[in-house]
Structures are given as C-alpha cells and as structure tokens.
Chain A
Amino acid sequence: MTAWIDGRAVERDAAVAAAAELLAGARSPLVAGLVAEAAAVQVAYDLARTLGASVDPAASAAIYADLGALASAGAMATTPAETRGRADLVLVVGRAPWASGLARDLSADAPVRGRAAGRPRTLVALGGTGDGAVQHVAYPAGEAGIPAALGLLRGLVAGRVAGPHPLADLAARLRDALYGVVVYDPAEIGALGAEMLTGLVKDLNETTRCFALALGDPYQGRTAVQVSAWSTGQGPRVGFGRGRPEHDPWRFDAARQVAAGEVDAALWLAALPAPLPAWAGTLPTVALLGAPTGAEARVVIGVAVPGETEGAALWHPGRAVIAWQEAGASAAGAPPSAAATLADLHARLAAAPPRRSAATSELSASC
C-alpha cells in the first residue's frame, strides 16, 4: 500500500495524477519539508520553478539562525573530524551539543594531528547543564542568556571588559588553547548568538586558532541550503511566483504564509522522519512520505526511505557534507524514491502547465 486519496487506498498512478491536478489548480502553491535525499530536493526546486511555488524546508528555523549570522558576519568554522583530530579545547555552548551526544564523543579522545597532538582535550561548557559522565568545567551563562554571555566573553577575550569577571577564566582558556572549537546549535542560540560566537572565534584567531562547529539539523536542512544555492543562487526560502527565484526568509515562511492565507495548496516532502505540519490536514496537500499511514493529507504517496531502502546522497552529520549512503535494507517491495515520484509529477505538470497561468494572463490583460 503506497498511495491514498482522502484516506482511501488507490493505485499509485491515480494518486500521482490527483497530486498533479491538485497542484496545477493552485494559484499560490507551496513546496515544503524537503526532508529527503539531494536528488529529491533538486526535483522539488525544479517543480517549484515550474509551478511558480514558494519553497520552505522543515529545517528553516535552524538554518536561518546560521544563515543570518553568516550573511552579516561571515564565519570561521571547522569540521567534526578536525575537531576530533586537532582540538585541545572544546567549548560547549548551551544544552543541545550535550543532548546530541557530540560533547560526550569529543570527550572520549584527544588531539592526534597538528601542534596540539599529544595534549589532553579539555571540555568547558557555557550555559549548558553538562553531562554527569563527562568531566568538564561549567560556566553559567547568566540571566541575560547565551547570546549576551557570548558577547561578554568576546569582550573579555579582546580585553574590552575591565575588572574581575566570572567568565575571565574561560576567556583565558580560549586564548591559551592551540586549536579551540566552540560547539553550538544555531537553533538554540539564534542568529544573534551565532553572530556573537563568530565574532568571538574570529577575534581569538588574531593570536591563536579557534573555530566554530555548528550542529546540523535533523531534517536535511543543509542539503536544502546547498541545492537551493546552486538552483537559485540564494538561500532555501524562495518564491518562484514571478517566474524567477526571489529569496525572502520572512515572506516565504510556510507557517506564516498558511496562517495569512497566502497559499492555497501544498506539497509536503518528508522521505525521512519529520513532524507533519498541522496545515497538512486543512490545506489541500500532497504528502510524499517515507512512513505514511494514508491519513496525513488529501493525497498521500509513499516513497522509499533514502539511505535505508535505497542508496542516496544525504547530509552526513559526522562528516558535515552531503555524502553517499548505501541502502541498509533490501529494496524489495519498497516504493519508488521521492526523486522518481517527484520527477513523474514534474513531467505531468510540465506537460500540462498550471491552469493558473491562463488566469494570471487574463488578470494582466485586464489591468
């Protein structure tokens, strides 16, 4: 069973046809989620271009905390493997790196490459609850929160804060490290926190080496960022309504658009697990899901789970790149991939252009 319309099981072809009809009839469609392999995300952008749709990945909140800081301040970062191989000091910011297990992993070994090789690795924490099993020195963020604490720390490192300060010792540790790494989750500390953190790291590099390491998001957001960049020249929240990609992280926020009544149909793509948005039950929606029940949306189509029932190009959190992941299980009986299903949908829509275009030209003619 891999396809449903209004909760009733149907032939897959009928569901794809219904999906094409639903999307072609929309005046302002939305393509959202993009929790899938790179090839599927690619077709989703191609499809959005054909439809004149807007696009918003499920991971946008986390992505834009980092992209906002990137576009205003740049970055100075390193990779998980270089952190394991070279870091003699790891500053864990906030709670998320502890929850993800990364902090614990980093505590398990010591630098083996570069000038810090042979030194022990020290873990220090700022504003996190820590982990009873991992030895570390914890510094409180204070009532003003993590971004403010990072700002103070930056001031201390640069010698701009006079007098004694609870974080002065942490600043000294960062300055003394040979290869410091500051681990954080952009979703937790936000754009302001990420920008402060970038400033801190850059200042430290005037005299030593220190880099940021962001946790990835669990929803293939960093795959969407890359596919979007090469497909549109911009970040992932784009709209093709005017025939060319326009990037606007506020305007093309799916939740905001749905709440404001700006979209009239949606395609939700989640070949990998992701929370289903509430609007999938109210807005006419086509859902492509790796683990469907059939009741999630008006049209539901099951797709292969990338990296499980088929090999796929996916974000690899340990390597922090898009990497090939072999199928883990037999593909026998698995439905077609999200990429193939979207390509089928795209071909049908390209053959029968959205009805909306006729209406739009009538509208322009009357203006």
Chain B
Amino acid sequence: MLTRIAGGRVVDPTAGRDSVSDVWIEDGRIVATPDRGPDRTIDAAGCIVMAGGVEVHSHIAGGNVVLARLLLPELGVAEPDAPNPHGSGRDVGLLYARMGYTTAVEPAMPPVNALATQLELAEIPLLDRGGLCVMGNDDQLLQLLRDRESADAVRDLVALNVATSRALGVKVINAGGADAFKDGAVRFSLDDEVPAYGLTSRQILDGLLDAVEALKVPHPLHVHCSNLGLPGADDSLIETLAAAEGRRIHFAHAQFYAYAAVDKDNPLTGGFRSAAPRIAEALARHPNATLDIGQVVFGQTATISLDILRQFSGRKAASPRKWIVNAGDAEGGGIVPFRYRDRGPTSSLQFAIGLEMMLLSPDPERTILTTDHPNGGPFTAYPRILHLLMDKEARDREVAAHPKVAAERSGLAAIEREYTLSEVAQLTRSGPAKLLGLTDRGHLRPGARADVAVYRDQADRTAMFARAHRVIKDGTVIVEDGEVVAWTRGRTLQLSVEADAGMARRTESYLQGRFGAGLSSFTVPDAAFPGRRADEPVFEAVACRT
C-alpha cells in the first residue's frame, strides 16, 4: 500500500529538509515521490512531520526495573486511563509511542540476567527495542585483563557476551567499582585499583574500548563513569574522555557529572556549580565523544543503577527511607527511591544544568535528550523539556520560579538560544539513531523505516510533543490523536556478531565451574518466545560497521 503523508512541515535535518511537503511510504519504508497516486492519504496540514523518536538510555526492563516496582508498589500503580511510566511494559510502550517515539534502548542488561531482560523487552509493545550488554565488573573479564591476555581474547569475550545476550551494544558501569564495593570500598575513581585484581578502572575501560572498536560495534562503548553525582564529578568525565584517547565513547547521563566542586580543596562539603560549559567545550574538541543528558525533573522517582558502590553511598538520601543494594554476579544493582524536590535548591540546580548542557551544545546530535528514566525522572517529561529548549520566555518563567542558587550556579538564565525544530529532531531522532548505528531510522530519506511522528504545530510545545497527532511504525498507524489504535509488537534489535568457538569453549568451562551451568543456560533462544508467530519474529539483526 502506498501512503502519502500530505502537506505537513517535514523536518529532517539529515537531508537539510524543513519545508511543507509530502512523505511517501510503501511496504513499511519511506520512498521517493512516486509517479502514481496514493492508496491512502494522511492529512498532515498544519502539522510537523518528523522521523520517529529514538531513545538511547531508559531503564525499561531488567531485574532492577522489576525490583524498583516491588520496592515502591505505589509508584507503579496504573489508574484508569492514566498509564504510568513506572508501571507495566505495556504502559511504557504506550507512553513512548504517544510522544512519537518508536525505538527505545535499555542500557543495562547484565549478561547473567539477559533472558529475563529480553523476555521483558519483548513485552513492551509498539516500539523496537534493544539492550546493551554490561561488562566491566565480571570476574571472567577481569581475570583476562589481570593475566594480561591478548586484546583478541578480550575482544572475543565481549563478542561472546554480546552474541549470547543478544545485545545491541556494550556498556560499562563504573568499571571495577562493583568489585571494589564488595571488598569494602565506598569511593572509587578512574585510577583506583580493584583490590583483588590489581587492575585500575582505567585499564578495564581501556580493554573494553579496544574490544568495541575491534568488533566494529556500531554503538560506541556506552560509559557510566565513576563518581556519579558528586561535586567534582566533572573531573571524572573529563579524565575518562581523555582516557578514550580518540576512540569513540558515549557518556551516559552526563548531567550527573556536570558538577564542578565549589571548594576544590573540600569537594564533598562545599557544594557544586554547573560544569556545563566545561563539558560542552570538551565535546566540541572531541568529535569522538557523544553524551546523553539525564535531565532531572521534579517529583518522586526511583533511581536504578548497576553502580552499586554509588547507590550504596547514596542510600541515606533515600526518600522514602528504604532501598535495595544487591551484590550480583558482576554488578548486581541498587535502587534508591528519590524525590527531586520541586523548587528545592539542589534539584533546581540539577534541572538548570541539564538544560544548560543542551543549550550550550556544540552539536545537538551528540547531546541526546534523556532523563535516564527513571533516574532523573520519567521519560514522559520530554515534551516539557523540549518546550523549555525551544522557548526562552517559557524558560525564564520557569527559572524565575526556582531558588536563586540555580541561576547563580549555572549559566542557564543568560542563554538566549532557542532550539529549532531541526535541532529538536537532531536531539531526539537523528542523533540517537546515528549513535546506535541504526541507519534505517532517525531520518525520512528514501529507504528509511517508515517510523514517522506527526505533531499538530502548536505554540504549546509541551502539548504538541505529549500527544502526537499520528504515529506510524513500520508503515502502520499505531497512534491517532494520542491514543493507540493498533497494538503492534515491534522487534528487539540485536547486533550480528560472531562468537569465537575457542572462547565459547573456555567460557563454557568457566561458567560450569562458577555456576554449575554452562553457556546454554545463559542463552536467549527464539524458543523462549513461543507466543510469537513465525512471520513476526522477536529479534531483528543489526549489522556491524564495515
């Protein structure tokens, strides 16, 4: 069927396109303007037409997301007609789709718990999904590095983990930090040593950066640095960027590191001010680097992280006063409920810093919008955040309502920039798609997947982005006027990577020794998803870079 999305303002920065025109769809793909009439026309007059949104970092599946729901049952309750971003996978899919998002990535899939994570991802309807395989605290990897095995061995182990867990990419979370925590540490930085292995965090990071490059994983190593959220954390990010030595690197939830210590000599007692200019400047100088924001929004949430050292350190700020820290087979996980106090001085400053980072961005394709859901707040805050980026007046009103410290310790108030629709598309579409190496989405050029969001052009950008007029996934209209009209199931994107047979044999023996179960116990076979029809597979392969 040939579909014409007619007469909308089509915004696709990857093609330099921002004009009233048509988008044509056939067989689930965007096609060039054909020489015949459409079978179906979707009227987009008065609307903005963009590619479907792409999420790079949102905790939407996995053991810790499950535990967060059980720790805070009241947070995930679904009221009638009020889907909850902390609730079921079904609600998560619906809420993303309603905003015009069509792809979302869970950034923290531990290989030891890949099967449950993948089962959960598959139950998020409407979207294509993916998971990043977490490495960097696992004993097998650390042994290889400690024993100075070859870079090829490390590469092969990473490939095996990605293939076995059916991941889209690789993430490292405070490399070595979880191991250090299990041995009693509560502080851990890039050049600190994991005591039992005699390895620094830097050495582990270095091994993984090389492995990801050698495997030609499209998504660069996704890095959660040490010292998240502490005054002086900007030093951790900048040092880690330097440690990459030009290799591609992605910084997760960078807002939580954009905290310069006010008192350099006593960083933990003097509070923090914005390091957004420093990070923006570093980003401008390092085209190999990308980041996502981790914007803070106000209200109750649950922070979910595999950085158990950091979560343990933050336990006393839990609100309500209950928390989970699990020392898992590698990282495990920590869940600390947190309330970003509306108009609270610290929350307001964090809020300002996130906006400042996006507004100082040298390249919106490399400073991607996230709230690190649910860590900075729910992803459903995106429409309001986009509104504030696009509207200086609305931003001034918002800033005026916050404590003075937010304006004094950040540069937000002085920034005049207003995001254009093209820049919004870079921030939420083309940037994240390029970052994930998904060449078939994030744009509207012929050949792209027909994932399209159509928004009514309104001055109230919050309302505009909150409920899309139409959302099209793979050519099917799934949302009309903010309501789901077709519960499609989407696919889970997995990287096509070959595992080395020799490393598989070594790993089989390692796993048997440690867990009394071999590689087959760690696999994610198609047979685990028997509810899916043969013509509707759960997984879709994504090729490595050539």
Check A233–B76 contact: CB distance below 8 A.
Answer: yes
Which of A81, A231, A235 is the one whose CB lies under 8 Å from B73?
A235
The 9 closest A-B pairs by CB, nearest first: A233-B87, A233-B76, A74-B322, A322-B116, A229-B66, A115-B183, A78-B327, A233-B88, A230-B120
Q: Which stretch in A136-144, A260-268, A335-343, A354-362 binds the other chain?
A: A335-343
Is A225 an interface residue when CB atoms closer than 8 A count as contact? yes
* CB<8 Å pairs between A and B, sample of 11: A74-B323, A74-B335, A77-B327, A82-B182, A178-B184, A226-B120, A233-B88, A234-B69, A235-B73, A310-B527, A324-B115
Determine if B90 is an interface residue (Cβ-Cβ < 8 Å). Answer: yes
A86 at the interface (CB under 8 A from B): yes
- A319 proximity list for chain B (CB < 8 A): 112, 329, 515, 517, 521
Q: Do A42 and B123 touch across chains, with their CB atoms under 8 A apart?
A: yes
Interface assignment of A323: CB less than 8 Å from any CB of chain B: yes
Is A173 engaged at the interface, CB distance under 8 Å to the other chain? no
Expressed in whole angstroms, the minimum distance between the Cβ of A339 and any Cβ of chain B is 5
Residue B525, interface by CB 8 Å: yes
Q: A53 near B: Cβ within 8 Å?
A: no
Against B, the Cβ 8 Å flags (1 = close, 0 = not) of A171-189 are 0000000110000000000
CB-defined contacts of A343 to chain B, threshold 8 Å: 530-531
Q: Is the interface of A mostly helix, strand, loop or mixed?
A: mixed
> CA separation between A261 and B367, bound complex, in Å?
59
Q: CA of A242 to CA of B327 in the docked complex: distance in angstroms?
A: 39
Whole-angstrom distance between the alpha carbons of A225 and B67 in the complex?
A: 10
- The listed residue (B61, B70, B112, B323) touching A225 by CB distance below 8 A is B70
Does A168 reach chain B (CB closer than 8 Å)? no
Flag if B525 contacts A324 (CB, 8 Å): yes
Judging by beta carbons under 8 Å apart, are B88 and A230 in contact?
yes
Say yes or no: B183 contacts A209, CB within 8 Å.
yes
Q: How many of A's residues come within 8 Å of B, CB to CB?
A: 61
In the complex formed, the residue of B with least CB distance to A319 is B515
Check if B516 is an interface residue, CB within 8 A of chain A: yes
**Considering the complex, which residues of chain B in the window 528-543 have a beta carbon less than 8 Å from any beta carbon of chain A?**
528-531
- Which positions 48-74 of chain B face chain A at CB distance < 8 Å? 61, 63, 65-67, 69-73
Q: Chain B's nearest CB lies how many Å from the CB of A18? A: 23
B6: Cβ under 8 A from any A Cβ: no
B-side contacts of A233, CB under 8 Å: 69, 76-78, 84, 86-88, 91
- In the complex, what's the smallest C-beta–C-beta distance from A63 to chain B, in angstroms? 10
Given A79-B328, A113-B196, A318-B517, A313 and B119 contact (CB-CB distance below 8 Å): yes
The answer to whether B196 and A115 touch across the interface, beta carbons within 8 angstroms, is yes
A253 to chain B, nearest CB (A): 17
For the complex, give the distance between the alpha carbons of A205 and B543 in Å. 45
User: Quick one: which of B70, B120, B196, B514 has the most chain A CB within 10 A?
Assistant: B70
**Residues in chain B near residue A117, CB distance under 8 A:** 196
Known: A77-B326, A113-B196, A234-B76. A39 touches B531 (CB 8 A): yes
Is B184 a contact partner of A323 (Cβ separation < 8 A)?
no
Q: Say yes or no: A211 contacts B524, CB within 8 Å.
A: no
A42 touches B184 (CB 8 A): no
Q: Give complex CA distance A42, B323 in Å.
A: 28
Which of A233, A245, A316, A319 gathers most chain B CB within 10 Å? A233
The reply to whether the CB of B80 lies closer than 8 angstroms to some CB of chain A is: yes
* Chain B residues within 8 Å of A82, by CB: 182, 327-329
A76 to B311, CA, bound (A): 11
Interface residues of B, Cβ cutoff 8 Å to A: 61, 63, 65-67, 69-73, 76-80, 84, 86-91, 112-113, 115-116, 119-120, 123, 139, 179, 182-184, 195-196, 312, 318, 322-329, 332, 335, 514-517, 520-525, 527-531
Measured between alpha carbons, how far is A179 from B524 in the docked complex, in Å? 32
Tell me which residues across on chain A come within 8 A of B324, comparing CB atoms: 70, 74-77
Decide: B530 and A39 in contact? CB cutoff 8 A. yes
A232 at interface, CB cutoff 8 A: yes
B322 A73 Cβ-Cβ under 8 A: yes
- The A313-345 residues at the B interface (CB cut-off 8 A) are 313, 316, 318-319, 321-326, 337, 339-340, 343
Q: Contacts A42-B119, A234-B77, A244-B78: A78 and B326 contacting too (C-beta < 8 A)?
A: yes
Q: How far is the CA of A235 from the CA of B515 in the complex (A)?
A: 28
**B524 A324 Cβ-Cβ under 8 A:** yes
A50 at the interface (CB under 8 A from B): no
A241 within 8 A of B: no
Q: Cα distance A324–B116 when bound, in Å?
A: 10
B326 touching A71 by the CB < 8 A rule?
no
Docked pose: A225 CA to B340 CA in angstroms: 29
By CB atoms of chain B within 10 A, which of A67, A209, A312, A337 has the most?
A209
Q: Which residues of B contact A78 (CB under 8 A)?
A: 326-328, 332
Residue-wise interface mask of A (218-252) relative to B, using a CB-CB cutoff of 8 A (1 in contact, 0 not): 00000001110111111100000011110100000
A39 to B119 Cα, complex, angstroms: 9
Determine the residue in chain B with the shortest Cβ distance to A227: B119
Query: Separation in Å of the B87 CB from the closest CB of chain A?
Result: 3
Residues of A contacting B80 in the complex (Cβ-Cβ under 8 angstroms): 242-244
Which residues of A lie under 8 Å from residue B527 when comparing CB positions?
A: 310-311
Could you say which of B73, B521, B531 contacts A234, with CB atoms under 8 Å apart?
B73
Whether B116 contacts A226 by the Cβ 8 Å rule is: yes
A208 sits at the interface (CB 8 A): yes
CA of A67 to CA of B69, assembled, Å:
11
The B-contacting residues of A in range 273-332, CB under 8 angstroms, are 310-313, 316, 318-319, 321-326
B509 to chain A, nearest CB (A): 15
Query: Is the Cβ of B61 less than 8 Å from the Cβ of A38?
Result: no
Asked if B322 and A114 sit within 8 Å, CB to CB, the answer is: no
> A264 to chain B: closest CB distance in Å?
25
Whether a CB of chain B sits under 8 angstroms from the CB of A72 is yes
A312 CA / B524 CA spacing, docked (Å) = 10
Do the beta carbons of B112 and A339 come within 8 Å of each other?
no
Contact B514 A245 (CB under 8 A): no
* Minimum CB–CB distance for B142 against chain A, Å: 9
The reply to whether B70 and A235 contact each other, CB–CB distance below 8 Å, is yes
Q: B179 to A114, Cβ gap below 8 A? A: yes
Judged by a CB distance under 8 angstroms, whether A194 is at the interface is no
Cross-chain contact B195 with A229 (CB below 8 angstroms): no
Closest to A321 in B: B113
- Determine the residue in chain B with the shortest Cβ distance to A181: B327
Q: Please, which residues of chain B bring their CB within 8 A of the CB of A225?
A: 66, 70
Q: Which residue of B lies closest to A116 (CB)?
A: B183
The answer to whether A43 has its CB under 8 Å from any CB of chain B is yes
- Asked whether A85 is an interface residue with its Cβ less than 8 Å from the other chain, the reply is yes
Judge whether B528 and A313 touch: CB under 8 Å. yes
Q: Which residues of chain B come closer than 8 Å to A70, judged between CB atoms?
A: 67, 70-71, 324
Q: Are A226 and B66 in contact (CB under 8 A)?
A: yes
Which has the most chain A C-beta neighbours within 10 Å: B79, B327, B515? Answer: B327
Q: Which residues does chain A contribute within 8 Å of B112, judged by CB atoms?
A: 319, 321
Task: Tell me the smallest distance from the CB of A322 to a CB of chain B, in Å.
Answer: 4
CB distance from B50 to the nearest CB of A (A): 29
Select from chain B the residue with minimum beta-carbon distance to A232: B88
Query: How long is the Cα–Cα vector from A313 to B325 in the complex, in angstroms?
Result: 26
